[in-house]
Amino acid sequence: MMNDVTGIILAGGRSSRMGTEKGLVSVGGNPMISHVIQTLEKLGVKSIKICANDERYEQFNYPVIKDLVKGKGPIGGIYSALVESTTDKNVILSCDIPNISVDILQYLLENSEDELAAISSFEKKTHPLIGVYKLGGLSIIKECLENDQLRLIDMCEKLDASIVEIPGSVGSDRHFFNLNTPEELENSML
């Protein structure tokens, strides 16, 4: 059981490239976000929160957190979710990675300890929305919001985030693939 970790799924984006609410798009017969929820459940995370501005996410029976500051992208979602979190460690994931695996999240948690944030990397490509963020970084994230510094990589640098390189024995490209467009959905590696 992971009672000391909160799972946070960001689903509050505009989905402009997908053309419809991305997390609710059917992938393998289920809404895309349900795959991410199931992975967190299999990991043993008891507290899961969905950061979204769409009431339809309430169907998944987890708390839905609306952005405290509207129009600030993923950083606004991260901030809003962390304000509501009751655990120091928070696994933050985007809703558009239906192939994310328990093994990757377990490896990420095992290789993040004292830092304010630890983000995953695979084949030298960082993935800030597959990461562990601690409540201690909340004031830095708030400062980024207040100063309109909304690039995730800049926020991660301010948090002095460690980069956890996921080995090929734990993950593959398929696990990190995010679906942003109808074409990607049609050609997905599911």
Domain ranges across the chain: 2-186
The CATH code that applies to domain 2-186 is 3.90.550.10
Q: Are 27 and 112 in contact (CB under 8 A)?
A: no
More confident residue, 60 or 20: 60
Burial per residue of 38-61, b for 16 or more beta-carbon CB atoms within 10 angstroms, e otherwise: ebbeebebebbbbbbbeeebeebe
Task: Express each pLDDT in 13-22 by its tens digit.
Answer: 655 555 567 7
Tell me the β-bridge partners of 25.
Answer: none
Task: Express each pLDDT in 133-172 by its tens digit.
Answer: 999 999 999 999 999 999 999 999 999 999 999 999 999 9
Task: Express each pLDDT in 63-79 by its tens digit.
Answer: 999 999 888 999 999 99
